[in-house]
């Protein structure tokens, strides 16, 4: 979760940033990085599964910077699931939906009333995933389902600000075009104790992008990756153009999306796509 006062100087000059997260080590790192770049920032603990926590972040951002121009509802986790979904721990479903779906709902409830009430240009960006929003990959049903819900919420939010004739713009950010090399595959580091797995045998065994590369190689697939900076550049360029879709795809992904649409229109029985294939 991050919020900013940028006054629409997209070159970054004069920007002020508030970052909320539950990972205290990562927060210390981001605080140092922003200070080294001479960016005025507040970095504070914020758990997106709690509306109170997000309201507190919104309050301290407004108190420090006066106003909020950009909101990124970006927090997300991978539940690390594998195997048959009917054998999963209920806690895998709860944790993933708490962060990925309720985190977005809580962010909307904490920030949108403030942005809409100000009645000036502002942007609300939700990080979704093509896995769920655009395609249904077969091996991470909890994550995929959570991101399907996130996309439905985001697109509806876009329709609702338009219907309300609000100057606030909503955008759907899809990190990519390839798997982005981040901490997502090691989300277990921020899993709350009370929602720890209580079923043996449904862990994916993947805790990094390198693990994922190795697993893909076993299926003869060479997994490509994208650097996070590339995603940030794509997002800022899209936001400058008021784009809803902050989406960068490969021709292969486009083909999968077309094939899925045609499968639906032709009432064909679904066949699974593989990540990276």
Ligand X SMILES: NC(=O)c1ccc[n+]([C@@H]2O[C@H](COP(=O)([O-])OP(=O)(O)OC[C@H]3O[C@@H](n4cnc5c(N)ncnc54)[C@H](O)[C@@H]3O)[C@@H](O)[C@H]2O)c1
Question: What are the structure tokens assigned to 45, written together?
Answer: 């603990």
Sorted by sequence, the CB contacts under 8 Å of residue 38 that are 6+ apart come out as: none
From CA 170, how far away is CA 96, in angstroms rounded? 23
Out of 65, 76, 158, 276, which residue is the one contacting ligand X (CB under 6 A)?
76
Residues β-bridged to residue 17: 4, 41
From CA 117, how far away is CA 75, in angstroms rounded? 25
Look up residue 270 and give its DSSP letter. P
From CA 46, how far away is CA 248, in angstroms rounded? 29
For ligand X, which is the closer residue by CB, 77 or 206?
77
From 2-10, 71-79, 232-240, 255-263, give the range in contact with ligand X by CB under 6 A: 71-79
From CA 194, how far away is CA 247, in angstroms rounded? 35
Q: What is the pattern of x (binds ligand X, CB under 6 A) and - over residues 13-52?
A: --------xxx--x-------------------xxxx---
From 2-10, 72-80, 215-223, 246-254, give the range in contact with ligand X by CB under 6 A: 72-80
How close are the terminal C-alpha atoms of the chain, in Å? 31
Q: What is the pattern of x (binds ligand X, CB under 6 A) and - over residues 180-209?
A: x-xxx--x--x-------------------
Q: Which residue is nearest to ligand X (CB)?
A: 76
Q: How far is the CB of 49 from ligand X (least distance, A)?
A: 5
From 34-42, 70-78, 133-141, 216-224, give the range in contact with ligand X by CB under 6 A: 70-78
Q: How far is the CB of 21 from ligand X (least distance, A)?
A: 5
Q: How far is the CB of 7 from ligand X (least distance, A)?
A: 25
Which residue bears the tokens 């926590």? 53
Contacts (CB under 6 A) with ligand X, residues 104-143: 127, 129
Q: What is the pattern of x (binds ligand X, CB under 6 A) and - over residues 244-263?
A: --------------------
Question: What are the structure tokens assigned to 134, written together?
Answer: 């655009």
**Closest of 37, 34, 38 to residue 2, by C-alpha:** 34
For ligand X, which is the closer residue by CB, 15 or 129?
129
For ligand X, which is the closer residue by CB, 75 or 115?
75
Q: What is the pattern of x (binds ligand X, CB under 6 A) and - over residues 79-108?
A: --------------------x---------
H helix runs in 22-77, sequence order: 24-36, 51-65
From 109-117, 153-161, 177-185, 269-277, give the range in contact with ligand X by CB under 6 A: 177-185
| 69, 8 contact by CB (below 8 A) | yes
Q: What is the dihedral of CA 79, 81, 85, 91, to 10 degrees?
A: -40
Which residue bears the tokens 């594998």? 82
| Cα-only R_g, the chain | 19
For ligand X, which is the closer residue by CB, 141 or 175?
175
Instruction: Enumerate binding residues for ligand X (CB under 6 A).
Output: 1, 21-23, 26, 46-49, 74-77, 99, 127, 129, 175, 179-180, 182-184, 187, 190
């Amino acid at each position: 979760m991050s919020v900013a006062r940028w006054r629409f100087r997209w070159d970054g000059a004069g920007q002020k940033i508030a970052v909320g997260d539950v990972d205290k080590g990562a927060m210390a790192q981001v605080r140092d990085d922003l200070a080294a770049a001479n960016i005025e920032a507040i970095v504070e603990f914020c758990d997106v599964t709690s509306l109170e926590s997000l309201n507190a972040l919104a309050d301290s951002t407004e108190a420090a910077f006066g106003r909020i121009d950009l909101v990124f509802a970006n927090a997300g986790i991978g539940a690390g699931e594998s195997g048959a979904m009917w054998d999963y721990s209920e806690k895998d479903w709860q944790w993933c939906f708490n962060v990925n779906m309720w985190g977005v709902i809580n962010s909307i409830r904490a920030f949108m009333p403030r942005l809409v009430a100000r009645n000036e240009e502002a942007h609300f960006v939700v990080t979704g995933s093509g896995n769920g929003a655009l395609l249904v990959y077969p091996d991470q049903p909890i994550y995929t389902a959570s991101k399907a819900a996130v996309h439905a919420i985001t697109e509806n939010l876009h329709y609702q600000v338009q219907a309300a004739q609000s100057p606030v713009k909503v955008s759907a950010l899809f990190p990519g075009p390839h798997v982005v090399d981040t901490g997502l595959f090691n989300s277990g580091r921020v899993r709350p104790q009370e929602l720890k797995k209580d079923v043996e045998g449904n862990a994916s065994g993947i805790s990094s992008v390198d693990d994922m590369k190795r697993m893909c190689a076993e299926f003869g697939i060479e997994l490509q990756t994208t650097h996070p900076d590339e995603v940030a550049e794509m997002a800022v360029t899209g936001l400058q153009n008021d784009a809803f879709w902050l989406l960068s795809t490969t021709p292969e992904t486009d083909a999968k999306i077309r094939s899925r649409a045609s499968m639906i229109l032709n009432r064909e029985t679904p066949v699974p796509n593989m990540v990276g294939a």
